[in-house]
């Protein structure tokens, strides 16, 4: 005999009495699997209150966290991707772009803005992973290039928040050349002695790692972020061995000498402010 | 580092490529066989077949021209990987009267996949840097199949800085299936090494010429590819990813590599029409491996004539033009304001 017996058969709640949870209010932490309420996320700078996991967020949230009173002027917001190669794989590139915009409300995988961080002028170019995997195509390169020109003209420190799967395959060699373009512009920024902060967030890989993400006067990262050049699957297939635990994590990259420090999102604004203050005085 | 299985994998890969001829070259192989047989017949019996031989030779010549002038993207990718093609050290030895190879990045080790050194071309001292592949199994392993580790890119940068210090121009030869995707490569900062080269090369105060002489795969190629003039040989490719990897990512199988080669627009011709390179250097009929000397002499005259022009420019102007060139690359839509 079972110790539990169902008294009523099936689901007895009437359809019209069914309660729905509105979308986007609750989210499960991908690390500890506990459920987080949106208000908790907002209060805690999108860091899990239980395990400290830094949730994946986009430019909207980063601007909100870093700019004073969430006030900023967006730079070059109207640039959109062209399709110079008429690229088509299983889908047309133009369809992928339209779908990306429909899903995210974004025009491409980066937004750049001029605002203030604890009173310090700062231009931040922030990548959005939700738009075609944060891939770097002509728009990403061009916005970064123009933002650097803007920083040189107004003598304002520059920051890039990287979050990308790498170069955008649908623009092939055009996207490859964005690596050259952004690196060349950063060389000009360096000549002007204007500080450039590179923040690497989860994930930063491929052509982005091999260009602007690794070229900061300081390179910093969020805890636990995956950072690397080649993808772990490719490396595993090449060397035919399992990869060590923590391979390509921010902590691993720091240990090998390619980051200046790792900063929790909840302390990021303070730490950036002290850096900017020290550079300015 | 080189697990035996990896070596085996790459060897099989190369053996597959080693086939003396590709599928699209089959008509030529057939004609050549016919011609050979006919010549044997002519030797044995005293029948006069010279007219037929001449006819066949003409046909062979005609077919050859037709095949090589109508290659598609994938066929060019195959030709770019032909194991008989000249590699960096071959070009250097054909170009230079004198050459001193220089080794090491002064930090970790000497990467064998990127070579470099000072050479003398027509009385002019040039710093040569290039990817190096191997000619046989042992050499290929030694050269890591032309896939450099971070220390390779750092050696390249050291040599460029040396060239800059003594005001010598830099010539690079690009031929790589990609930067090495290994564990140690990540530990030693593959991304940082390439990124640093992109930045430093864009402001190097001496002329830089880049020649894509085989495969130009992504960041691994670009890491020594920022030049005042970037040329591709006729049967080479240059893109953000190899057609095989592109196929496996976008179609989730390797079967679409030909289609990928098409859509990536990776041939010299396409790259030139998209203004992503400065010129295409025609190859001898059938490819550089059919006449390495002729190929080298075409490269040599390009080097000499370009250095004459670039050498006259003030360093600041040279750098500015180089940066402007790369900054103009990319296509975006922008509403008229």
Contacts with A142 from chain B: Cβ below 8 Å? 330, 332
CA distance B204 to B163: 9
Residue burial B244-257, b: 16+ Cβ < 10 Å; e: rest: bbbbbebeeeeebb
**B200 and B53 share one domain:** no
Residue holding tokens 């054909």?
A: B94
**Class of the CATH-defined domain A57-280:** alpha beta
- The chain B residue lying nearest A176, using CA atoms, is B240
> Which of B52, B70, B88 is the endpoint of a domain?
B70
- For A169, which of B196, B241, B326 is closest by C-beta distance? B241
The tally of CA atoms less than 13 A away on the side-chain side of residue B147 is 19
Contact yes or no for A238 and B265 at CB 8 A: no
Last residue of a domain, which of B70, B103, B133? Answer: B70
Which chain B residues contact residue A178 at CB under 8 A? 329-330
- Tell whether B95 and B195 lie within a shared domain: yes
Question: If contacts are CB pairs under 8 Å, which of residues 7-66 in chain A contact chain B?
Answer: none
Asked if B86 and B54 sit in the same domain, the reply is no
Across chain B, which distance is largest between two alpha carbons, in Å? 83
- Report domain extents, chain A: 1-55, 57-280
Please name the helix (run of DSSP H) or strand (run of DSSP E) that holds residue A112, with its range, or none. strand A110-117
pLDDT tens-digit profile, chain B (337 residues):
344 555 545 544 454 444 567 888 888 888 988 888 888 888 887 777 788 888 888 998 898 898 998 899 999 999 999 999 999 999 999 999 999 999 999 999 999 999 999 999 999 999 999 999 999 999 999 999 999 999 999 999 999 999 999 999 999 999 999 999 999 999 999 999 999 999 999 999 999 999 999 999 999 999 999 999 999 999 999 999 999 999 988 888 889 999 999 999 999 999 999 999 999 999 999 999 999 999 999 999 999 999 999 999 999 999 999 999 999 999 999 988 6
Residues of chain A with Cβ-Cβ distance to B200 below 8 Å are: 187
Burial (CB count <10 Å: 0-12, 13-18, 19+), residue A257: exposed
Is the CB of A191 less than 8 angstroms away from the CB of B203? yes
Taking CB atoms and an 8 Å cutoff, what residues of chain A touch B323?
Answer: 184-185, 187-188
Q: Is residue B13 part of a domain?
A: no
Tokens of A155: 């003598």
The pTM for the full model equals 0.91
Is B123's Cβ below 8 Å from some Cβ in A?
no
- B219 and B183 housed in the same domain: yes
- Secondary structure E strands in chain B: 98-101, 114-121, 124-131, 170-176, 208-217, 229-233, 237-239, 279-281, 332-333
Question: Do residues B32 and B127 both lie within one domain?
Answer: no
In a domain, B289, yes or no: yes
Query: Quick one: closest CA in B to A252, which residue?
Result: B187
Q: Which chain B positions have a beta carbon within 8 Å of A112's beta carbon?
A: none
Task: State whether B330 and A169 contact (CB < 8 Å).
Answer: no
Residue A34 Cα distances to A20, A23, A61, angstroms = 20, 17, 21
Assigned token pair, B81: 């990987």
Nearest CB among B186, B250, B333 relative to A235 is that of B186
* Residue B45, domain extent: 22-70
CB-CB neighbors (< 8 A) of A183 in chain B = 195, 198-199, 202
């Amino acid at each position: 005999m079972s110790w539990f017996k169902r008294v009523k058969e099936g689901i007895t709640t009437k359809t019209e009495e069914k309660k729905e949870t509105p979308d986007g209010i609750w989210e499960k932490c991908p690390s500890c699997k506990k459920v987080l309420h949106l208000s908790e996320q907002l209060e805690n700078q999108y860091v899990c209150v239980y395990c400290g996991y830094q949730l994946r967020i986009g430019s909207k949230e980063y601007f909100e966290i870093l700019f004073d009173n969430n006030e900023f002027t967006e730079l070059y917001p109207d640039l959109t991707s062209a399709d110079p190669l008429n690229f088509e794989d299983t889908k047309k590139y133009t369809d992928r772009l339209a779908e990306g915009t429909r899903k995210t409300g974004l025009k491409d995988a980066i937004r750049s803005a001029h605002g203030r961080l604890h009173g310090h002028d700062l231009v931040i170019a922030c990548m959005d992973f939700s738009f075609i995997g944060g891939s770097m195509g002509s728009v990403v390169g061009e916005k970064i290039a123009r933002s650097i020109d803007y920083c040189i003209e107004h003598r304002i420190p520059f920051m890039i928040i990287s979050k990308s799967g790498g170069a955008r395959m649908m623009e092939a060699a055009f996207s490859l050349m964005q690596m050259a373009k952004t690196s060349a512009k950063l060389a000009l920024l360096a000549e002007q002695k204007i500080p450039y902060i590179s923040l690497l967030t989860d994930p930063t890989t491929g052509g982005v790692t091999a260009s602007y993400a690794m070229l900061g006067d300081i390179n910093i990262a969020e805890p636990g972020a995956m950072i690397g050049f080649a993808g772990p699957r490719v490396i595993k297939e090449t060397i035919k061995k399992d990869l060590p635990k923590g391979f390509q994590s921010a902590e691993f990259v720091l240990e090998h000498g390619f980051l200046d420090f790792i900063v929790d999102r909840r302390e990021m604004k303070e730490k950036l402010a002290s850096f900017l203050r020290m550079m300015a005085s | 580092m080189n697990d035996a299985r990896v070596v085996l994998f790459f060897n099989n890969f190369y053996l597959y490529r080693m086939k003396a001829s590709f599928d699209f070259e089959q008509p030529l192989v057939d004609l050549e066989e016919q011609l050979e047989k006919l010549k044997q017949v002519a030797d044995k019996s005293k029948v006069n077949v010279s007219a037929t031989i001449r006819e066949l030779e003409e046909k062979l010549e005609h077919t050859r021209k037709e095949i090589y002038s109508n290659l598609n993207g994938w066929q060019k990718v195959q030709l770019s990987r032909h194991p008989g093609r000249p590699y960096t050290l071959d070009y250097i030895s054909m170009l230079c009267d004198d050459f001193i190879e220089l080794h090491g990045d002064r930090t970790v080790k000497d990467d064998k996949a990127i070579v470099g050194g000072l050479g003398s071309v027509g009385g002019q001292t040039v710093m040569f840097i290039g990817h190096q592949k191997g000619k046989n199994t042992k050499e290929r392993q030694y050269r890591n199949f032309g896939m450099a580790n971070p220390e390779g890119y750092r050696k390249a940068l050291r040599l460029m800085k040396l060239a800059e210090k003594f005001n010598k121009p830099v010539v690079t030869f690009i031929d790589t299936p990609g930067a090495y995707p290994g564990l140690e490569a990540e530990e030693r900062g593959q991304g940082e090494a390439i990124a640093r080269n992109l930045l430093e090369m864009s402001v190097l105060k001496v002329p830089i010429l880049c020649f894509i002489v085989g495969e130009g795969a992504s960041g691994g190629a670009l890491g020594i590819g920022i030049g005042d003039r970037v040329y591709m040989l006729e049967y080479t490719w240059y893109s953000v990813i190899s057609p095989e990897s592109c196929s496996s990512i976008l179609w989730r199988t390797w079967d679409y590599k030909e289609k990928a080669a098409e859509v990536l627009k990776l041939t010299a011709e396409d790259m030139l029409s998209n203004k992503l390179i400065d010129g295409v250097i025609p190859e001898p009929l059938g490819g550089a491996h059919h006449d390495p000397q002729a190929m080298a002499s075409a490269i040599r005259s390009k080097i000499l004539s370009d250095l004459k022009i670039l050498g006259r420019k003030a360093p600041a102007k040279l750098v500015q033009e180089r940066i402007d060139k790369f900054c103009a690359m990319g296509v975006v839509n922008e509403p008229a304001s």
